[in-house]
Amino acid sequence: MVMSPQNGRQPEMEVLLASTNPHKLQEFREILAPLGVVVVDLASLSQSFDEPVEDASTFAGNARLKALGYAEATGRVCVADDSGLSVDALDGRPGVLSARFAGSSGTRDERDAANNVMLLALMEAVPDEKRTARFECAVCVADPSGTILAESHGTFEGVISREQAGDNGFGYDPLLYLPDVQKTSAQLSSQEKNARSHRGKAVQKIATCFSKM
C-alpha cells in the first residue's frame, strides 16, 4: 500500500480496487474514506489488464482470485469484492452467478434490469413468508507477492419484494426489501446502505488490516 503525505495531516493509504464495477468503486470509496484509505480505480491506470476468469464456486474463492490476479498483474496491493444475492426459495441462487443471472449480453445496467425481471418472475408464486434473501460479500486484500493480507465476509438480510422500488444503488437493490425500515435497499441513502450492507460489514471487519499497512 502506498502512503502519500498530505501537508502534515495523517498520511493517506492507497489501495487498488480489483473491480470493473463503478458502483462498487463508489461504495468502497465511501466506506474506506473514514479509515483514511484512498481507493484507486483500475480505469485510472495507464495500462489495461485482463479480467481474471471468475470460476470459483464460492464468493470467497472468486474474491481471492480477483485480488491475487490483479495484485500480481499491477504490482499493487489490491482489494477485491465478490458479491451477490442468495435467495432461500431458490436454494441460494443466483449466488456467485448474480451478475449474469439472466445472461451476459448488454450493458451492466441492461444486465441488472434483466436480472431483476427474471428474479421477480421466478419468485412470483413464492409466498411472503418464504421470500427471505440476503446480499453476501466476500472481500480479499492481497499484495503483489501473492500474500493474502486479509479476508472477510458480510451479509445484508432482507426479503424479495413483489415489485421494484427505489433509484439508488445498483443490481438487485430495488428488490431487497428491509422490513425494519419498510424500504428497499435502493431507497436507502448511500450512507444508510453502507452502514448496514454486506460490503460495509465485510470491510469494517478487516479495517485494522488497512491501518497496519
For ligand ITT, the binding residue among 12, 14, 21, 49 (CB under 6 A) is 21
Can residue 131 be called a binding residue for ligand ITT (CB under 6 A)?
no
For ligand ITT, the binding residue among 2, 89, 99, 206 (CB under 6 A) is 99
Q: Which of 55, 81, 82, 173 is catalytic?
A: 82
Applying CB under 6 A, what is the total number of residues that bind ligand ITT?
Answer: 22
Residue nearest to ligand ITT (CB): 171
Q: Considering the complex, what minimum distance in angstroms separates the CB of residue 126 from ligand ITT? A: 19
End-to-end distance of the chain based on CA atoms, in angstroms? 6
Which is closer to ligand ITT, CB of 55 or CB of 124?
A: 55
Site residues for ligand ITT per CB under 6 A = 19-21, 24, 54, 81-85, 98-99, 112, 115, 135, 169-173, 197, 199
Report, as residue numbers or ranges, the catalytic residues.
82
